[in-house]
Structure 1
Amino acid sequence: MLYWWSKYVLLGPLLRLFCRPTIEGLEHIPEAGPAILASNHLAVVDSFFLPLLVPRRITFLAKREYFIEPGLTGWLKKQFFTGVGQVPVDRSGGSAARDAMDTAVRLLRAGRLLGIYPEGTRSPDGRLYKGKTGVARMALEAQVPVIPVAMIGTDQVNPIGSRMWRPRPVHVRIGEPLDFSRYGGMQGDRFIERSMTDEIMYALMELSGQTYVDLYAASVKEKAAAPAPPKTRDPFRLPDTKAG
């Protein structure tokens, strides 16, 4: 009920009014049954436009922190993220990664349409970054197809660091499903999972037109956020002298 209310009554009409979103390739999404929608990730609003434009309900795995913030603001955030179809998972590492995987597989085996961002985080500069292999393992364990989805223009609506959304056109391009049934029973093979993930990322590159970078986006962000090393004095440089 809350999902329907957000999509058709609250947020959906505003997004349609200000951004005039369009979509192509809807015929590639099955009317029923499980599948993974693997999308590039340019902005927070990616998770709002895709459910708005796809008739079927999409479930995203979201950070648990979005759902447990205290106070009225925390309650509102919880209601909002639940309303747009997000399910909380602990992504802090260790056993949490396995728990997130189990949640995804459970949803897929229940016939759900699962949305995921193989890059793991938003692109820091609009380019497409190396995908993480979790999406491949999900597909193999649940035995489902992966449908590539390109979000175009969402980074203009919601640039990184901006608090206000801007009225800009958004387009969603959905590609043909990728069938990995030939690798059935091979989950856990890191070479197979990397090959599958690279195939998914290549499809996303073709759909989105983005430049591909063979690095993890999270690593690039961490490097950019790290403090610059202190400057060291060149021992062979003569000291500056003042005239006079």
Structure 2
Amino acid sequence: MPRRSERTPAFRVLAGAVVPFITAVADVRLHHAERLPQTGAFVLAPNHFSEIDPLVIGTAVWKAGRAPRFLAKESLFRVPVLGRIMRATGQIPVDRGGIARGADPMAAARALVADELAVIIYPEGTLTRDPELWPMRGKTGAVRMALQAGVPVIPVAHWGAQELMPRYAKGIRPFPRKRIDVVFGEPVDLDAFRGGPLDQATLLRATETVMQAITRMLGELRGAEPPAERWDPAKRGQSETGRFDG
């Protein structure tokens, strides 16, 4: 069981609102929830194609026994009420360049271990631009945090949220009730990247290893073959606004 302190009163209040809502509009089915560590720190790396993904993944992680924490835009912490809730539940502020200004990335990694947190970081940084909703090129934030902290990266793939809230939609489509499948993977083997300098080339190779694991699991969920080449917005002249993890 996770440490008692992980599910704080503030977290329980938030989960008491979010989990019943998601359960009312979607049948969230967990696959291999036993792969989610019940103690200790880790980085959870999901695919991302709908604005409602954080509520879906947060619900899945809560149902699997952990308290989910996200990297969230620093500006959201200045919103009345919302900011108070985010601080009370231990969400992690970031600006568009990474960890919030003035913060020490290594200090954040040490806190991840010391507090035994389950931290959700979307390696794509924003909604995928792939027209078929396959994971696009990843950013390095998730593996950088994991390698600095010496904790595992758990890949997770989900499918079905696009029926509840299509990409870029302004609202949800609650009827009929949707099915969303969430599958947790085994920790990604990043041993080859540990112990050396975390230069950009190393981080990019490690990130692609994580993206391959997520894509493979998503292909199994969809019963479809992923594209041979990963979508890269930079090569297609697309904006990548909204990224959190550089």
1:62 to 2:72 alignment = yes
TM-score of the superposed pair, with normalisation by structure 2: 0.77
Whichever residue aligns with residue 72 of structure 2, its letter is A
User: Using the alignment, how far apart are the partners of 1:25 and 1:49 within structure 2?
Assistant: 16
User: Using the alignment, how far apart are the partners of 2:33 and 2:20 within structure 1?
Assistant: 20
Q: Tell me the secondary structure at the aligned position of residue 136 of structure 1.
A: helix
Match of 1:233 in 2: none
Task: Indicate the structure whose relative CO is greater, using CA pairs within 8 Å and at least 6 residues apart.
Answer: 2
Correspondent of 1:37 among 31, 44, 50: 44
Shift of 1:100: 7.2
TM-score of the superposed pair, with normalisation by structure 1: 0.77
1:134 to 2:151 alignment = no
Shift of 1:218: 11
Shift of 1:205: 0.7
Match of 1:86 in 2: 91
Paired-residue identity, %: 31
> Does the CA-based 8 Å contact 1:107-1:114 persist in structure 2?
no
Correspondent of 2:126 among 98, 103, 121: 121
The 3 A distance-change label for structure 1 pair 218 and 178 is same
1:198 to 2:202 alignment = no
Larger Cα-atom Rg: 1
Where does 1:137-148 land on structure 2 (aligned, <5 Å)? 137-148=144-155
| Structure 1 unmatched runs, 5+ | 69-73, 225-244
1:215 to 2:220 alignment = no
Q: Deviations over 1:80-122 (max 9, x none)?
A: 545776322222x388578473464133222111110111111
| Structure 2 unmatched runs, 5+ | 1-8, 220-225, 242-246
Whichever residue aligns with residue 76 of structure 2, its letter is Y
The 3 A distance-change label for structure 1 pair 139 and 120 is same
Q: Tell me the secondary structure at the aligned position of residue 151 of structure 2.
A: coil
The RMSD of aligned alpha carbons is 2.8
Shift of 1:158: 1.7
Match of 2:223 in 1: none
Whichever residue aligns with residue 196 of structure 1, its letter is A
Number of positions where the alignment pairs a residue of Structure 1 with one of Structure 2: 217
> Does the CA-based 8 Å contact 1:122-1:217 persist in structure 2?
no
